[in-house]
């Protein structure tokens, strides 16, 4: 390479995911190897995603990263492990038009600029690290002409954050825990793509929370150290559930899917309670939402809505189809109305075309709503204003993609600095 001034870059978009059989507990903290398999649904990146631009240039004097516009340190071991692994797999890259010629061996000494942005508030506690590390690894793999398939890339993203490995695929994804000490077989695989079960509608209730939650990383460390229930879960419960969940997904068996998702979420939170000192991720609002869904499912005789909660109070609700989702949203808005003067379009975000179907796009207000009679009482009083910050309506979605449109890049093509 001569002393060129070029900046070569790639922009990619990666989805987030929600586990329906949870990952909770590591057998190796450094390589991030789990104590059990897990299964997730990838969420539509149109509504929840990370966009990352990665750039390389001989003029960069060090690796740098900006997250949501603010420069952050790359010195942590998780970033360092991902960068080292991906660099070692870089291939030859040539772009004659730009005068770019990079050889495999150059990746070790060329510096990178990385800018990443989430299209949802990081503070909402919506697994931003999963989409973030997946996007970092995916975009660098494209930049560096890495030949590895998505499963092999997932093993690198895993070293940034465990749940990130499942964001390398769309649809329904399994993270196989693997058995090797080096972690090379602890990878994600796709069970079915997003079109396989496209009736499903996902509504996320972003629940307001006053307290700072224990991070997943330290929470699961404490559970591994102190919870006997975690040992039992990993050894006896999850292996059977994984087989059943794979069957349920394959057959689009919503009743089994719901039973398994809800039970697994509840067991994960039971493990948190079994941890010393106990960890509380759900709050009263979360519990009220569970009651609402349980009551509805029971009264219908067959499950209509599945729920699952990660390391925070937010509810992820999966409705069997659009019609059920509309009723669910009406019920949720009845019990958790927006604060006065809140625009409905900022209270229900994502695919908010659902508001029209719920009769709430025009003059109609939530006061006129009537939720299904089966769930009308017993979940607390109706007026729970402010307990839900907002709702996101989404669906199962695609895996990572490169965004070829240069206008979507987060770095300036001339300087390689944030736009
Ligand atoms: C509750 O992937 O955030 O969301 O591997 O330490 O970064 P680290 O943890 P993280 O844990 C996610 C835990 C969970 C369940 C799940 O996504 O499977």
> Mind listing the pLDDT tens digit for each residue in 260-287?
999 999 999 999 999 999 999 999 999 9
Q: Which domain holds residue 262?
A: 201-394
Q: Which atom of ligand 1 is nearest to the CA of 310?
A: 1
Task: For residue 349, give the CATH number of its domain.
Answer: 3.30.70.890
Residues 186 and 241 in one domain: no
Q: What ipTM score was computed for the predicted complex, to two decimals? A: 0.99
Rounded distance, CA 3 to CA 25, Å? Answer: 48
Is any ligand 1 atom within 6 A of the Cβ of residue 19? Answer: yes
Instruction: Say if 417 falls within a structural domain.
Output: no
- Could you tell me the distance, in angstroms and rounded to a whole number, from the CA of residue 130 to the centre of ligand 1? 8
173 and 234, same domain (yes or no): no
Which residues, in sequence order, are CB contacts of 277 under 8 Å at separation 6+? 222
**Do both 154 and 224 map to the same domain?**
no
Is position 367 within any domain?
yes
In-domain check, residue 294: yes
CB of 177 within 6 A of ligand 1: the answer is no
Mean pLDDT of 359-378: 66
3-state SS string for the chain: CCCCCCCEEEEEEEECEEEEECCCCEEECCCCEECCCEEEEEECCCCCEEEEEEEEECCCCCCEEEECCEEECCCCHHHHHHHHHHHCCCCCEEECCCCEEECHHHHHCCEEEEEEEECCCHHHCCCHHHHHHHHHHHHHHHHCCCCCCHHHHHHHHCCCCHHHHHHHCCCEEEECCCCCCCCCCCCEEEEECCCCCCCCEEEEEEECCCCCCCCHHHHHHHHHHHCHHHHHHHHHHHHHHHHHHHHHHHCCCHHHHHHHHHHHHHHHHHHHHCCCCCCCCCCHHHHHHHHHHHHHHHHHCCCCEEEECCCCCCEEEEECCHHHHHHHHHHHHHHCCCCCCCCHHHHEEECCCHHHHCCCCCCCCHHHCCCCHHHCCCCCCCCCCCCEEEEEEECECCCCEECCCHHHCCECCCCCCEC
Q: Do 274 and 377 fall into the same domain?
A: yes
Strands 172-175 and 188-192: antiparallel
Together in a domain, 238 and 143: no
310 lines ligand 1 (CB under 6 A): yes
Asked if residue 375 has pLDDT above 70, the reply is: no
Tell whether ligand 1 has an atom less than 6 A from the beta carbon of residue 13.
Answer: no
Using the mean position of ligand 1's atoms as its centre, give its distance from the Cα of residue 374 in Å: 35
179 and 237: one domain?
no
Please tell me the pTM assigned to this model: 0.95
Find out whether the beta carbon of 265 lies less than 6 Å from any atom of ligand 1.
no
Residue 217 sits in the same domain as residue 182: no
Does residue 311's CB lie within 6 angstroms of at least one atom of ligand 1? Answer: yes
Give me ligand 1 centre to Cα 127, in Å: 8
Task: Please check whether residues 179 and 259 belong to one and the same domain.
Answer: no
CATH number of the domain that 116 lies in?
Answer: 3.30.230.10
pLDDT at res. 376: 60
Written as six digits, the tokens of 316 are: 């992820």
Q: Could you tell me the distance, in angstroms and rounded to a whole number, from the CA of residue 38 to the centre of ligand 1?
A: 10
The answer to whether residues 114 and 22 belong to one domain is yes
The mean pLDDT of 388-399, rounded to a whole number, is: 96
Q: Is residue 418 part of a domain?
A: no
- Provide the CA 143 distance to its chain's centre, in angstroms: 23
163 with 227, same domain? no
What is the number of structural domains in the chain? 2
Q: Which ligand 1 atom lies nearest to the CA of residue 163?
A: 2
How confident is the model over 11-51, as pLDDT tens digits?
999 999 999 999 999 999 999 999 999 999 999 999 999 99
State which of 115-119, 243-247, 297-301 shows the largest mean pLDDT: 243-247
161 and 244 fall within a common domain? no
């Amino acid at each position: 390479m001569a002393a060129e001034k070029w900046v070569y870059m790639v922009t990619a978009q990666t989805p987030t995911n929600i586990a329906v059989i949870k990952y909770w507990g590591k057998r190796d903290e450094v390589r991030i190897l789990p104590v059990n398999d897990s299964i997730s649904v990838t969420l539509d990146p149109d509504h929840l995603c990370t966009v990352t631009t990665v750039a390389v240039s001989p003029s960069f004097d060090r690796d740098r990263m900006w997250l949501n516009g603010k420069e952050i340190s790359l010195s942590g071991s998780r970033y360092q492990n991902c960068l080292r692994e991906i660099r070692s797999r870089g291939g030859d890259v040539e772009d004659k038009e730009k005068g770019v010629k990079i050889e495999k061996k150059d990746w070790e000494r060329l510096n990178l600029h990385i800018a990443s942005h989430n299209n949802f508030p990081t503070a909402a506690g919506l697994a931003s690290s999963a989409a973030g590390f997946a996007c970092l690894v995916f975009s660098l793999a494209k930049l560096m002409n890495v030949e590895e398939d998505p499963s092999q890339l997932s093993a690198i993203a895993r070293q940034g954050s465990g749940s990130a490995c499942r964001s390398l695929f769309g649809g329904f994804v399994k993270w196989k825990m693997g058995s090797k000490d080096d972690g090379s077989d602890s990878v994600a695989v796709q069970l079915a793509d997003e079109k396989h079960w496209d009736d499903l509608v996902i509504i996320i209730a972003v629940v307001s929370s006053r307290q700072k939650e224990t991070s997943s990383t330290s929470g699961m460390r404490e559970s591994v150290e102190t919870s006997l229930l975690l040992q039992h879960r990993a050894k006896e419960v999850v292996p059977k559930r994984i087989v059943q969940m794979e069957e349920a997904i394959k057959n689009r068996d919503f009743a089994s899917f719901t039973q398994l998702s809800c039970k697994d979420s509840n067991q994960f939170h039971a493990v948190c309670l079994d941890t010393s000192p106990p960890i509380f991720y759900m709050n009263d609002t979360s519990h009220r939402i569970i009651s609402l869904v349980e009551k509805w499912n029971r009264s219908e005789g067959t499950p209509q809505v599945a729920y699952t909660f990660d390391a925070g109070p937010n509810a992820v609700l999966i409705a069997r189809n659009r019609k059920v989702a509309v009723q669910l949203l009406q019920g949720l808005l009845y019990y958790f109305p927006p604060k006065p003067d809140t625009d409905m379009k900022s209270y229900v975000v994502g695919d908010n075309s659902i508001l029209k179907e719920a009769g709430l796009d025009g003059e109609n207000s939530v006061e006129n709503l009537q939720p299904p009679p089966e769930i009308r009482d017993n979940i607390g009083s109706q007026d729970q204003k402010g307990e839900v910050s907002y709702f996101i309506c989404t669906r199962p979605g695609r895996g990572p993609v490169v965004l070829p449109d240069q206008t979507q890049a987060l770095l300036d093509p001339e300087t390689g600095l944030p736009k």
